[in-house]
Structure 1
Amino acid sequence: MINQLLWPFQNLPNSYVVVDTETTGLFDEQGAPGIASLGVASVRNGSVAETNEYHLRPHRPMTAEAFKVNGISNKQAQGYPFFSSQWPEIREWLDGQLVVIHNAEFDWPLIIDHVERYQVEPPSATGVFCSQRAAQPWAKAMRLKCSKRGPSLDTLTQALGVENLRMLNSGIHGAIIDARQTAAVIEAFRRL
């Protein structure tokens, strides 16, 4: 009966794109953080079909806290290409697709901020689905730890017995790792 709470996952289309970002920090009084890395994973018929990671030169310096999470140094990030030069290719991944994001209330406004900041053409995604919010009723029913946004990707990975891809990267977050991890969690939900 609890698995009826997974209806949003079970009714996702067979083709969607998972997106994740690694940033210079959080939104604050200075505005949006910079995106240093954006990962995309195209899912088709239950499997990750294609992936790519775009390293982007952020408009703000990396905070010490963000560096601890993603391992991207300021020196490294300053060597990355600008968002505007990579956006046309990134947009191709999103156009005409349902975009799935774990914590969409952070990543999607951040992406839109960058679209406006760099004055590039906005994506024409068919919609944005937040896997964190959608998983919250099931996670609470299963008595899993949840923040006000919902269960973390790590919590869901462990609860579902999905391979933890971050552990293959010494526990460091990465945009492509987290996009692939989100896809694995979603597909595990769809099989329940």
Structure 2
Amino acid sequence: MREIVFDTETTGLSFSGGDRLVEIGCVEIFNRVETGRTFHAYFNPDRAMPAEAFAVHGLSDAFLSDKPRFPELVEAMLDFIGDAPLVAHNAGFDFGFLNGELKQCGRPLVCTTRMVDTLTIARSKHPGAKHTLDALCSRYGIDRSHRVLHGALLDAQLLAQVYVELLGGRQIGLGLVSDVTVVAAQPAQVRTPSVVRPARAFSASEAELIAHAAFMGRVKNPIWGSDASA
């Protein structure tokens, strides 16, 4: 099954409050395996970047000033995601901004029935634990050492690995990936039957019997010579 894992960066927490989408990163997975296909874009939000948001992702006004507006890349983005389920961490937030931008440029909204929320899955699987992306990467041994600031594509790539682990990990060899190479079974190797040799007879020599009798003669009151009924 084809799925798209995605993440967004924004100017703040509320699209309805005037915040805008400034970055989106999408990673294609097929049957829980990354295909290597991605979609990534920065957007000029046509508004100033608040200091709080800049501290999270490091996207400055100067950096975004020459980037395209969302409507300029919306077609390419929609072509990439197609009709696949969309996986995100705290997906309601990302869907809110994605659909806010789509509505503003007159495009149909992405139906929330396509939403797969890894935060909900993590809370169900690990109740009481931390459920941030960093915490889940630590839990599953996913290297995030190169994650200094939030970045939509990097976070989507990390989340793709987390998502697979949350679902139980990759099921290698169970027919989940269409391009798995099948190795033909080799004929069984015929073994040559072992040669059965007759059992060897081991017996004491005459000298060993004499030495044994002499030793036994020196034993005082042997238990094997006593009356068993006494």
Task: Name the CA shift for 1:43/1:64 in 2 (closer, same or farther; >3 Å).
Answer: same
Displacement after TM superposition at 1:183 (Å): 0.3
Matching residue of 1:47: 33
Displacement after TM superposition at 1:124 (Å): 6.5
Matching residue of 1:190: 167
Aligned residues: 168
In 2, the alpha carbon distance for the partners of 1:60 and 1:134 equals 35
In 2, the alpha carbon distance for the partners of 1:163 and 1:96 equals 30
Aligned: 1:168 with 2:146: yes
Matching residue of 2:136: 156
Report which of the two structures shows the higher radius of gyration computed on alpha carbons.
2
Of Structure 1 and Structure 2, which has the larger fraction of its residues in helix? 1
Aligned: 1:78 with 2:65: yes
In 1, the alpha carbon distance for the partners of 2:29 and 2:137 equals 18
Question: How is 1:1-192 mapped onto 2 (pairs within 5 angstroms)?
Answer: 14-27=1-14, 31-49=17-35, 50-123=37-110, 127-140=114-127, 143-145=128-130, 151-164=131-144, 167-169=145-147, 171-192=148-169
Q: What SS class does the counterpart of residue 111 from structure 1 fall into? A: helix
Which is bigger in relative contact order (C-alpha 8 A, separation at least 6)?
1
Instruction: Say whether the 8 Å CA contact 2:7–2:152 is kept in structure 1.
Output: yes
Amino acid at match of 1:73: S
Amino acid at match of 1:163: D
Identity %: 26
Instruction: Say whether the 8 Å CA contact 2:43–2:64 is kept in structure 1.
Output: yes
Task: Name the CA shift for 1:26/1:15 in 2 (closer, same or farther; >3 Å).
Answer: same
> RMSD of the alignment, in Å?
1.9
Task: Name the CA shift for 1:152/1:130 in 2 (closer, same or farther; >3 Å).
Answer: same
In 2, the alpha carbon distance for the partners of 1:127 and 1:71 equals 30
Amino acid at match of 1:98: P
In 2, the alpha carbon distance for the partners of 1:38 and 1:139 equals 28
1:23-54 per-position Cα deviation (integer Å, ceiling 9, x unaligned): 111117x6142111100000013222111211
Displacement after TM superposition at 1:139 (Å): 1.9
In 2, the alpha carbon distance for the partners of 1:124 and 1:27 equals 19
Displacement after TM superposition at 1:75 (Å): 1.1
Displacement after TM superposition at 1:96 (Å): 1.3
1:50-94 per-position Cα deviation (integer Å, ceiling 9, x unaligned): 112111111432111111111110111121101001000101122
Amino acid at match of 1:168: H
The runs of at least 4 consecutive aligned structure 1 residues that moved more than 3 Å come to 121-126
